[in-house]
């Protein structure tokens, strides 16, 4: 049966670890001079309803470096659900390509693509979650810290799609996670319930609150993201009023562990959720994290398409 990646909640801890391990092998092989063409003859179709730098380029380069190809399908071309129904797009595209990656507004659209596609479907960000980002993030934390269990990740900012995937991943993999969002901007109740359930199973802890200083206390990782995600532009002015106490700045970072690493999925709105001083400072791993999108997704593609 084909395997999709729609949400990390759908994967077992073993499956996530396996992707991370394959990613590690492929990164080492790449560092030693180049990858074997394990995806020779394979094509990835990439549907975008929203802009992208990292997701588009890292998936495209991942396919190229593994011997395959990727097709970029812009918002204007496919017009998912407008020019053609989502099921028909899935039925047709999956006759041509070996895997579909889609960046959508409504998470339901990526679920519908998966339901009607003959080939694996990867969620390249929806309003609900961003699992490929979280895979790269846990890969990065492992590289920097050597472990996940026993570490604390502090999220400061909006209870958004990236936090959802980090909550699922952390609680599946046994990492503690504390989130501080403004009141009214918490992750959805159903997301919280799943995270608490996974944490119980793995023995990790979850805290969802409103106090950034409490969240970063004793943190090994501080993570933030934009205050206004793609598709929420109409709320921007209101969010700019609410979110300033949730800025990751030097004073907040100083309250975490001395060796804390600071992460951001990027793109950053410097001067809003993160200061230049922190983004470019000694704790920042922002650009290693961005690079690891490439390696983590190679691991994912190898597992989905080459039975690694």
> Which of the residues are catalytic?
103, 130, 133, 225, 265, 293
Cα separations in angstroms, 163 against 43, 170, 307? 30, 10, 29
Q: Which of 23, 173, 265, 301 binds ligand CP (CB under 6 A)?
A: 265
Element (H, E) at 83: none
| Beta strands in the chain, from DSSP E residues, in sequence order | 43-48, 69-73, 99-103, 121-123, 152-156, 176-180, 206-209, 221-224, 261-264
Is residue 224 at the binding interface for ligand NVA, with CB under 6 A as the rule? no
Residue at token pair 């994912």: 300
Site string for ligand NVA, 97-126 (x = CB under 6 A): ----------------------------x-
The CB-of-137 to ligand CP minimum distance in angstroms stands at 10
**Calculated CA dihedral for residues 258, 264, 268, 273, nearest 10 degrees:** -60
What end-to-end distance do the CA atoms of the chain give, in Å? Answer: 15
DSSP structure class, residue 27: H
Q: Considering only residues 52 through 81, tell me which ones interact with ligand CP, judged by CB under 6 A.
A: 52-55
Is residue 162 at the binding interface for ligand NVA, with CB under 6 A as the rule? yes
The CB-of-269 to ligand CP minimum distance in angstroms stands at 13
Is residue 225 at the binding interface for ligand NVA, with CB under 6 A as the rule? yes
Q: Considering only residues 127 through 156, tell me which ones interact with ligand NVA, judged by CB under 6 A.
A: none
Distance CA 229, CA 2 (A): 31
Q: Which of 35, 49, 129, 161 binds ligand NVA (CB under 6 A)?
A: 161
Q: Considering only residues 113 through 152, tell me which ones interact with ligand CP, judged by CB under 6 A.
A: 125, 133
Is residue 164 at the binding interface for ligand NVA, with CB under 6 A as the rule? no
Site string for ligand NVA, 178-217 (x = CB under 6 A): ----------------------------------------
Which residue stretch of 25-33, 36-44, 48-56, 84-92 sits at the interface with ligand CP (rule: CB under 6 A)?
48-56
Residue 162 class from Cβ within 10 Å (0-12 exposed, 13-18 middle, 19+ buried)?
Answer: buried
The CB-of-292 to ligand CP minimum distance in angstroms stands at 11
Cα separations in angstroms, 227 against 55, 75, 213, 221? 20, 24, 18, 19
Distance CA 258, CA 245 (A): 22
Is residue 266 at the binding interface for ligand CP, with CB under 6 A as the rule? yes
Tokens of 53: 């730098």
The CB-of-197 to ligand CP minimum distance in angstroms stands at 27
Q: Which of 265, 290, 300, 301 binds ligand NVA (CB under 6 A)?
A: 265
Residues near ligand CP, by CB under 6 A:
52-55, 125, 133, 265-267
């Amino acid at each position: 049966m084909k395997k999709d990646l729609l949400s990390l909640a759908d994967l077992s801890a073993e499956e996530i670890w396996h992707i991370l391990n394959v990613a590690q092998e492929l990164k080492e092989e790449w560092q030693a001079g180049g990858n074997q063409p394990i995806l020779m003859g394979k094509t990835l179709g990439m549907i975008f309803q929203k802009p992208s730098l990292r997701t588009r380029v890292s998936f495209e380069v991942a396919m190229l470096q593994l011997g395959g190809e990727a097709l970029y399908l812009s918002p204007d071309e496919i017009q998912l659900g407008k020019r053609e129904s989502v099921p028909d797009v899935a039925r047709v595209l999956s006759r041509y390509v070996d895997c579909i990656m889609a960046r959508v507004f409504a998470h339901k659209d990526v679920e519908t693509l998966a339901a009607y596609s003959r080939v694996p479907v990867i969620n390249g960000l929806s309003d609900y979650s961003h699992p490929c980002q979280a895979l790269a993030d846990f890969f990065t934390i492992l590289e920097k810290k050597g472990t996940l269990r026993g570490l604390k990740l502090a999220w400061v900012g909006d209870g958004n799609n990236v936090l959802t995937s980090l909550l699922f991943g952390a609680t599946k993999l046994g990492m503690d996670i504390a989130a501080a969002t403004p009141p009214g901007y918490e992750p959805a109740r159903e997301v919280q319930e799943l995270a608490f359930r996974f944490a119980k199973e793995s023995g990790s802890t979850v805290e969802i609150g409103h106090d950034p200083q409490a969240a970063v206390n004793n943190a090994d990782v501080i993570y933030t993201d934009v205050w206004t995600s793609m598709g929420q532009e109409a709320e921007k002015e209101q969010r700019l009023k609410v979110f300033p106490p949730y800025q990751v700045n030097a004073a907040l970072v100083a309250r975490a562990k001395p060796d804390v690493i600071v992460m951001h999925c990027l793109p950053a709105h410097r001067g809003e959720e993160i200061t230049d001083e922190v983004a470019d400072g000694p704790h920042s791993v922002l650009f290693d994290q961005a690079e690891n999108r490439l390696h983590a997704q190679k691991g994912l593609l190898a597992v989905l398409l080459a039975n690694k």
